[in-house]
Amino acid sequence: MKIRIYPPIIAGIYLLVTIILNYIFPGMRIIYSPYHYFGGVFVVAGFILMIWASQVFRKNETTHNPFNKSTVLVTAGPFSFSRNPMYLGLSFILLGIAVFMGTVSLLFAPVAFFLTINMTFVQHEEKKLDRIFGQSYIKYKNRVRRWL
């Protein structure tokens, strides 16, 4: 039996671990008031991006679950400028929280999440989409960047 951990759970784990570590070993503050409020902009942008991408998936009647088979190659909405807007949104949320908290140690969460997702989920999904959609996906991949 394979254990499947979904990206939002991974993001939550990284965030929780970093907050606990930051509490135990307070990191050096690098962003001070009022500049730390820019973190809120990243959090809001991340949620908007994720909601928008989710609505586009729903409209195209395909799954946003990374473990299910995709039935439609979605290229509209946020997928017209990023092949991974859901993961990008989660990364923005983690980055926003780190900026808002203002300490170096909290930057671990967005960096670790980004690297984990990029090296595991994205690699796997790109191979799967290439297999399912073939030339259509290759054209899309050549036209739209992986992240931004």
- Asked if residue 76 is part of any domain, the answer here is yes
Q: What is the pLDDT along the chain (148 residues), one digit of tens a residue?
A: 577 899 999 999 999 998 898 888 887 889 999 999 999 999 999 999 999 999 999 999 998 888 888 899 999 999 999 999 999 999 999 999 999 999 888 899 999 999 999 999 999 999 999 999 999 999 999 999 999 9
Range of the domain at 93: 9-143
Q: Residue 57 domain-assigned?
A: yes
Distance CA 137, CA 64 (A): 17
Q: What is the DSSP string of the chain?
A: ------HHHHHHHHHHHHHHHHHHSPPPB---TTGGGHHHHHHHHHHHHHHHHHHHHHHTT----TTSPP-S---SGGGGT-S-HHHHHHHHHHHHHHHHH-BGGGGHHHHHHHHHHIIIIIHHHHHHHHHHHTHHHHHHHHHS-S--
2, part of any domain: no
Contact 75, 134 (CB under 8 A): no
- Domain count across the chain: 1
pTM, 2 dp = 0.93
Count CB atoms within 10 A of the CB of residue 97: 21
* Nearest CA-CA partner of 96 in 77, 85, 109, 81: 109
The answer to the question of residue 148 being in a domain is no
